[in-house]
Amino acid sequence: MPHRRRQPGWTLRAYNALMLREDAEQAGGAVTAEGGSAWRCAACGAEVARDGDRISLDGQETRAFVNPDGLEYVIAGFARAPGCSEVSEPSSYWSWFPGCAWQISVCRTCRAHLGWRFSGRAAFYGLSIDRLTAP
């Protein structure tokens, strides 16, 4: 079998769909899906929501809130977040949105805390922007 001469700095690789996604992300690109570019979990890279599902929060792209322990969160609003799972019962205690109860939302893949699902007067997700990778 003849020896193949390789160009310096180039490696021959077989590609699969996961490797192509990882290569696109490493190059600074986002994998697009129907509804826009993907917002991903910063911990594991799983798709959490789509840019097309972004909503404003009281007319702003992001809002900053403080919880009862004094921790500040900057959140972005999403109408849908299929990559999230709720892991608590709804509570209206210390809700940042009057008339809405909140539930803790985590990444479906790695279970990292990503934010909250709000329901009641309105239904939406408030996800912490420092726990997401933007498209």
Report the pLDDT value the prediction gives residue 35, as an integer from 0 to 100: 59
Encode pLDDT of 108-123 as tens digits.
Answer: 999 999 999 999 999 9
Q: How many domains does the chain have?
A: 1
Encode pLDDT of 68-78 as tens digits.
Answer: 999 999 999 99
pLDDT(133) > 80: yes
Burial category of 55 from C-beta neighbours within 10 Å (exposed 0-12, middle 13-18, buried 19 and up): middle
The pTM of the full predicted model, rounded to 2 decimals, is: 0.73
Query: Does 81 reside within a domain?
Result: yes
Between residues 93 and 20, the one the model is more confident about: 93
Q: For residue 73, what are the β-bridge partners?
A: 65
Query: Does 49 reside within a domain?
Result: yes
Answer for the pair 80, 59: CB distance below 8 angstroms, yes or no.
Answer: no
Q: For residue 54, what are the β-bridge partners?
A: 78
Q: Which two tokens stand for residue 29?
A: 């690109």
The CA distance from 39 to 99, in Å, is: 27
Lowest mean pLDDT, pick from 15-24, 28-37, 48-57, 63-72? 15-24
Query: Does 72 reside within a domain?
Result: yes
> What's the pLDDT band for 36 if we cut at 50, 70, 90?
confident
Query: Does 3 reside within a domain?
Result: no
